[in-house]
Every structure is written in structure tokens, then in C-alpha cells.
């Protein structure tokens, strides 16, 4: 594969769709920068809506199991990662463990990040080290009492977590493998699009099949290629368009959380990477799983206009 920079430029020229040159500020400076955006780290670690300083701690993430606050990951020695070494960072991302040995809550998507390659983890670490330190204290998570002991998390990990970098499938082509890596490791789509069971573990039979219990009370759609309840009727070019501009095949637009993700991550990927994501998603087994609530039927004896 070409260098990420070269791929990006090649991808940008392919973006002839609406023929808009990307502003210079959006061009990633290097591989770590590109990965940082693709993985959407800022979504949980920067409070953009309240104009919070970059990487100094994120907005509240409301989940059915409590409210989480992404911590300060700037290189500040007191509140951020200033005293960390590269090996601490890699262990956090790959094993979900803090330098002091305590477990992270899976709201930090290490179940996906564990699949990042060593090279990508090192590039991300190098990127984080270059950012300005911000001395902003962390906000503790707001959790029900029974979820507060972090020791519980070893049980969660034993049940649901398999550490280890992504292994490419030799029987699939390069585009598919790139898409699989992006979806399952980097952009960690399943963290929201896969429903969770009562213990907060992913329901593997419903991988990427959507949930009504998404973060911040959102309904997260089924993105498997099921024709009735998923994106089976979307063409590959329509998925690529959605990831670039947020427009659906019906001309609707992504809102709320997904619009943020499109802004921060998928619209800044290379066109080739968006194509890879679409290729991978459409190759998945279709899962019939409705997430939208049924439209109310009119009362008996009345037609649709209520007469």
C-alpha cells in the first residue's frame, strides 16, 4: 500500500463528486493524525460543543449503564498522559488496562482498539505526544453503585473481550480487508451499532444490527445488508456518499451523534477508505433486526385521514 499521505492525495483527487478542494487545514499531516480523526478520538476526549480544550476531557456520554466522561488524554503530567510511556498507551488500547493495572470500562472502546496494529498504535501515540498539554482535571464517571468496583471488569473481559491485533483474511481482497480493519478496529462502528446484553457485552449474533438503546438515548440503525431492516437496499455508492456528506439515498441527512461522526471521522477519510468500509458492510451477513418503532396504525373504523 502507498503511504497514507499519498493515498490521501490520490483519494482526494477521486473526490470529483462535488469537486470541492478540501481546505488545507483538513489535510492530515501524517498517519497518526489521520488515524486520530478516523478513530474519532476527539468525540469522547474533547468537549467540542462547549468549546473545551482539545483532548482535555470529553462531554457526558449517557448510556443505559451510567454516564461516562472521556478523560484528559493530552500530555499533561498531572491530569493527562504526560507520564505515560508508549508501552503504557499500547497496553491501555490493546488490553484495556491502566498503567496502575486497573481495568477500563468498555465505554472506552478497547474491545475494538485492541485490533489496531502495533504500527497504528505507535503512530497514534506519537500524534498524542505532539499535542499541547492541558491541565484540566478529570470528571469521574457517574455510575450506579453496583458498577463502581472496577474489579468487576475482569469478569466482563473474561466474558466478552479477546485482545489481539486484527488478522487480515487471506481469502479476501485488499479492499475488503481494509474495510474490515476500519469498521472493526479504527472507526469501531460496532460499539454503537451492535446491541448489548444486560451485562453490557455485545450480542454477537446481532453484530452491527442496531439498537434502540444507543448512547444519549439515540436509536442506532441496523447497518447489516438486510433489505428490510438494514441497509440492504443501499448501493455501495450511496453508503460512500453518506459517509462523505451525511446524505441518505432518500435525501435525508444524518443527525445528532452520527452527523458528528461524519464530520469528525468518515468525511475526512480517503475516498478509498470510505469505499472499503462500504464494501465490507455490504459483505456482512444480513441480520433482520428492526430498531425503529412501528408506525401507529389508525384506530379501527377510521381511514388514514381519521374520518
Partner 1 sequence: MPRLSLSKLLTFGALALLGAAAHAEGDPEDIIKYRQNVMKANGAHAAAAGAIIQGKVGYKKDLVDHAKALAAINRDVAALFPKGSDFGDTSALDGVWSKRADFEKRAKDARAKSDAFAKAVATGDAKRYGPKFKELVDSCKACHKDYRKEEK
C-beta closer to partner 1: residue 162 or 296: 296
Query: Which residues lie near partner 1 (CB under 8 A)?
Result: 17-20, 214, 218-221, 237, 241, 245-260, 262-263, 292-293, 296
What value does the CA radius of gyration of the chain take, rounded to a whole number of Å?
20
CB of 224 vs partner 1, minimal distance in Å = 17
* Cell numbers standing for residue 171: 481469502
CB of 257 vs partner 1, minimal distance in Å = 6
> How many residues are there in the chain?
307
Distance (Å, whole) CA 191 – CA 220: 11
C-beta closer to partner 1: residue 38 or 258: 258
C-beta closer to partner 1: residue 144 or 306: 306
Sign (positive or negative) of CA dihedral 178, 204, 160, 266: positive
* Cell numbers standing for residue 202: 455485545
C-beta closer to partner 1: residue 43 or 71: 43
CB of 20 vs partner 1, minimal distance in Å = 5
Rounded-to-5 percentages of helix, strand, coil across the chain: 40, 5, 55
C-beta closer to partner 1: residue 100 or 304: 304
C-beta closer to partner 1: residue 177 or 211: 211
> Residue 132: which residues within 8 A CB-CB, separation 6 or more?
54, 74, 75
Q: What is the dihedral of CA 229, 234, 238, 244, to 10 degrees?
A: 30
β pairing state of 60-63 and 66-69: antiparallel
- Which residues partner with 62 through β-bridges? 67
Distance (Å, whole) CA 91 – CA 185: 15
Q: Which stretch of DSSP H or E encloses residue 42?
A: helix 41-45
CB of 102 vs partner 1, minimal distance in Å = 33
CB of 258 vs partner 1, minimal distance in Å = 6
CB of 112 vs partner 1, minimal distance in Å = 20
CB of 216 vs partner 1, minimal distance in Å = 9
C-beta closer to partner 1: residue 107 or 266: 266
Amino acid at each position: 500500500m502507498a503511504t497514507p499521505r499519498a493515498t490521501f492525495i490520490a483519494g482526494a483527487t477521486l473526490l470529483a463528486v462535488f469537486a470541492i478542494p478540501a481546505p488545507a487545514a483538513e489535510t492530515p499531516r501524517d498517519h497518526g493524525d489521520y488515524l486520530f480523526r478516523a478513530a474519532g478520538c476527539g468525540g469522547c476526549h474533547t468537549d467540542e460543543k462547549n468549546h473545551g480544550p482539545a483532548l482535555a476531557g470529553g462531554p457526558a456520554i449517557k448510556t443505559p449503564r451510567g454516564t461516562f466522561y472521556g478523560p484528559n488524554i493530552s500530555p499533561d503530567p498531572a491530569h493527562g498522559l504526560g507520564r505515560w510511556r508508549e508501552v503504557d498507551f499500547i497496553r491501555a488500547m490493546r488490553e484495556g488496562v491502566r498503567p496502575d493495572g486497573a481495568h477500563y470500562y468498555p465505554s472506552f472502546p478497547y474491545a475494538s482498539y485492541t485490533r489496531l496494529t502495533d504500527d497504528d498504535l505507535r503512530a497514534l501515540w506519537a500524534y498524542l505526544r505532539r499535542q499541547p498539554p492541558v491541565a484540566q482535571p478529570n470528571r469521574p464517571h457517574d455510575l450506579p453503585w453496583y458498577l463502581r468496583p472496577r474489579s468487576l471488569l475482569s469478569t466482563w473481559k473474561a466474558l466478552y473481550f479477546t485482545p489481539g491485533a486484527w488478522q487480515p483474511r487471506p481469502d479476501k481482497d485488499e479492499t475488503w480487508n481494509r474495510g474490515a480493519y476500519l469498521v472493526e478496529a479504527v472507526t469501531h462502528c460496532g460499539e454503537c451499532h451492535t446491541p448489548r446484553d444486560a451485562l453490557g457485552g455485545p450480542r454477537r449474533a446481532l453484530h452491527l444490527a442496531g439498537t434502540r438503546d444507543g448512547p444519549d438515548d439515540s436509536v442506532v440503525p441496523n447497518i447489516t445488508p438486510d433489505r428490510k431492516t438494514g441497509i440492504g437496499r443501499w448501493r455501495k455508492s450511496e453508503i460512500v456518499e453518506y459517509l462523505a456528506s451525511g446524505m441518505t439515498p432518500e435525501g435525508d441527512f444524518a443527525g445528532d451523534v452520527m452527523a458528528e461522526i461524519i464530520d469528525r471521522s468518515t468525511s475526512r477519510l480517503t475516498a478509498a477508505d470510505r469505499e472499503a468500509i462500504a464494501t465490507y458492510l455490504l459483505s456482512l451477513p444480513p441480520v433482520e433486526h428492526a430498531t425503529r418503532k412501528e408506525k401507529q396504525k389508525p384506530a379501527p373504523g377510521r381511514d388514514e385521514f381519521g374520518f
